Every structure is written in C-alpha cells, then in structure tokens.
Amino acid sequence: MHPDDRDNVSNLAGCRIAEDRAIIKYLKALLKNKKIALKTINHIYKDLCDNDIYNEKIFHRLDLQIRDKNNEINILKEEIKDIEKNIQKNISLRDKIFKGKKGQSC
C-alpha cells in the first residue's frame, strides 16, 4: 500500500466502524420492539387460555405470530453478532495500519 493511502484507509475504516455501531444501535432498538410485541402476543394468548375462550383461527394466528416474532428476534440477534464481528475485524485492520505507520521513518 502506498504510504499516502494509509490515512485514507484508516479514515474509511473509522467511518465504517461508526456506521456499523449506528446500525447496531438501530437493530437493538428494533429488537427491543420485537420482544415487546412478542410479549404482548404471548400475553393475549395466555389471557385467552385462562378465560377458556377458544377459537381455533385466533389461536392458529397467534401461534404463527409468535413463531414469526421469534424468528425475527433470532435473525436480528444474528445480524447484531455479525456486525459486531465486523467491527472487531475493522478495528484490527485499523490497528495494523497504525502499526505500519509507526514503523515508517520519514
């Protein structure tokens, strides 16, 4: 890598890290909302069971919604993990760039 390009690569890595952290923050807020929605659906399901209200269509829809929310939650958790790994990778890259920079003499 050309020495003049190191600063640009370092800045780009820093921007990418900041972007990934913002995405994680958004995904965590989305995850929190999905968990609240799941909790609400589970509460409705429990209330219907406790009150001996049985409607096969309603229970079927609730089961599907519970399954969907659980899948969405798991997908979000995986996305967050992947982005966190990517951040660590970018930090390592940035560290290598700085170490290479320090080893240069002017």
Query: 22 in a domain, yes or no?
Result: yes
Range of the domain at 96: 3-101
Query: 106 in a domain, yes or no?
Result: no
Q: pLDDT for 5-49, tens place per residue? A: 555 556 676 788 889 999 999 999 999 999 999 999 999 999 988
Report which of 40, 9, 27, 41 is spatially closest to residue 74, judged by C-alpha positions: 27
**Is 69 in contact with 34 (CB distance < 8 Å)?**
yes
- Write down the pLDDT at residue 9: 59
pTM: 0.76
**Total count of domains within the chain:** 1
Q: pLDDT for 46-105, tens place per residue? A: 998 888 777 889 999 999 999 999 999 999 999 999 999 999 988 887 777 767 655 554
H helix runs in the chain, sequence order: 6-50, 56-102
Q: How far apart are CA 44 and CA 87, in angstroms?
A: 39
Give me the phi and psi of 51, to 5 degrees please: -100, 15
Query: 44 in a domain, yes or no?
Result: yes
